[in-house]
Amino acid sequence: MAQDTARGTAQDTARGTTQDTTGNITEDPAGTPPLHGIHIPLVTPYAPTGEIAAGALEALAHEVLDAGATGIVALGTTGEAACLDEAERDLVTDVCARVCRERGAALTVGAGAAGTRAAEVSLARLTRWPQVGAALVTVPSFVRPSAAGVAAHFERLAGVSPVPLIVYHVPHRTGQPLDAGALRALGSLSGVVGVKYSSGGLDQDAVELLGDLPAGFHVLTGDDVYLSPMLALGASGGILASAHLATERFAELAAAWRAGDAVRARALGHALAGLAAAVFAEPNPAVVKGVLHAQGRIPTPDVRLPLLPASKAAVAAVLERLAALREAFPA
């Protein structure tokens, strides 16, 4: 019964509805990907011999969609995109596109580059996969342009991209902080439909942005620990590595806030925040891969250098959190 309900949730969200700041559900404009609910930035599983375990990746994609995820994200940070060669990145995208075509689910693919011309080339390659609904594009890193330069970068990309753009705002990785005004300006650009907001906390800029969003612009939290308060403030959903685990409960949390069930949402949100904190006790995605391997869902816990595998203690801590979550919130 729980799985049937979760499948219905995934199918409904894939049809293209959205939540406004008052909690009302409306249809997304034609051509806009469903940017609400829980999106899973899939890990890239490896076989014992080191190559990508494509079968495990495909099974994992189906599992999270069965459990209620709105969509999946290929080639995000959690997928170790920087550690994959071009052929491997294409393989991952092929697998994810096939699953999303079969399931009618939302597919977002990580793309872009620090330089605008290189980012254009990266986005142009997405025409190979018609199932791609949006591109997750990081704010230029290392270069550290001005806010006006960031806006010009995304305006140029939005003008040539074959799919809508989701800005990946992650200043602790890019070295490029953007305030609410700068993000609002990006959200006003034609072709920019959302932001993955990963500032490392629930800050004043998040509050200001969510209080005055451009029309058709969605905020998806990328800081797993802060999912519940961000949803309470009006975020549309989240792109969350920790939602590989207990996907049903993350989807339930999003639904609870959408339905206005604050009592249920607060309790579940606190429990999931504790789980998320344990998942990120060591560099991502090492711990989530260690737990997935312990659950028998991927063939190895391996990550590629410069990342190192998770410690046994970190994996055990997450497994304990999951057991407590199942006891407190049975399916």
- Sequence-distant (6+) residues with CB within 8 A of 306 are none
What are the residue ranges spanned by the domains of the chain? 2-245
pLDDT of residue 27: 45
Catalytic entry in 168, 197, 226, 289: 168
pLDDT tens figures, 201-217: 999 999 999 999 999 99
Question: What residues have CB less than 8 Å from 222, skipping those under 6 apart?
Answer: 168, 170, 196, 197, 198, 238, 239, 240
The answer to whether 58 touches 297, Cβ cutoff 8 Å, is no
Question: Quick one: which of 209, 112, 227 has its CA closest to 165?
Answer: 112
46, 196, 197, 226: the active-site residue: 196
Q: Examine the residue annotation and report whether 289 is marked as an active-site residue of this protein.
A: no
Q: pLDDT digit string (tens) for 1-49? A: 333 333 333 333 333 444 443 344 444 555 567 899 999 999 999 999 9
Distance CA 33, CA 329 (A): 31
CATH no. of 2-245: 3.20.20.70
Cα–Cα distance for residue pair 70/106, rounded to 1 Å: 6
C-alpha to C-alpha distance for 101 and 212, rounded to whole angstroms: 34
Amino acid at 37: G
Specify the pTM: 0.90
φ, ψ of residue 238 in degrees (nearest 5): -155, 155
Structural element, H or E, at residue 203: none
Residue 196 falls in the annotated catalytic set: yes
Which segments of the chain have a pLDDT < 50? 1-27
Residue 97 and residue 101: Cα distance in Å, rounded?
6
